Amino acid sequence: MELSDLRLVTASNIINLRTAAGMTQAELGAKLNYSDKTISKWERGEAIPDAYVLTQLAELFGVTVDSLLSADNKWEPPVDEKELPGPSYSVNVLIALVLLSTFTVGLAVFVTLWMLDIIEWRVFLVTLSVGILVYMILDLIFKHGRRLPYILAAFVLSLFLLAYFFLHQYRPWQLFLLLLPAEALVFLACNIRRRPHHRKNAKKSA
């Protein structure tokens, strides 16, 4: 088998295994510590993973390395995932509608209190926190938590602002001394990834 044919066969097998597992190119890349652009090149037959990555793929999908290189399926040039018509636009519209509804409710509460001669601008702080929380839930459901670190960091910041302005009589500025380590903990917790076991895989290859 020529190298060009081997690339196409491997590309077809990777596509079939990834789609069967319900993964996007970005998700597969994250598991292998590669970018989605590299995964796209493999699936287009422009490049072929090295022996170590093939071992990782085989272990990830529960197949053998030989099956990744065998011509069981006919290869067809894949369309770039970014060009595929999908639900992303509709999902974005849905998220926007839910968030707009959340802030509309907050505005309605503010206006109602205003009509009662109660000016309570902190309603918007509560609305902001609720809106971020709703966005985080929607991102987890529809986007697989792709923006989770940033949304969670914004949510933590909103909680600090709530605590500060609702306790304005005490002006507890010391709370913000905890903000930086709290945000650092959020990003570290959201970026914990399982590293590949080089030694273990090296023994298997041997």
Q: What is the pTM of this model?
A: 0.48
Q: Which residues contact 44 (CB under 8 A, 6 or more apart)?
A: 11, 77, 78
Fold held by 3-84: 434 Repressor (Amino-terminal Domain) (1.10.260)
pLDDT in tens, the chain (206 residues): 566 777 788 888 888 888 888 889 888 888 888 888 888 888 888 888 888 888 888 888 888 888 877 775 544 445 554 444 444 457 888 888 988 999 999 999 999 999 999 998 889 989 999 999 999 888 888 877 778 888 888 888 888 888 888 887 776 777 778 888 888 887 788 777 544 444 444 444 44
3-state DSSP call for residue 169?
A: coil
The structural domains of the chain, with segments of one domain joined by +, span 3-84, 88-190
Look up residue 186 and give its two tokens. Answer: 């959020």
Vertex 5 angle, CA 4 and 8, to 5°: 90
Q: Which residues contact 55 (CB under 8 A, 6 or more apart)?
A: 65, 201, 204, 205
Q: Report the distance separating Cα 172 and Cα 165, nearest Å.
A: 9
3-state DSSP call for residue 2?
A: coil
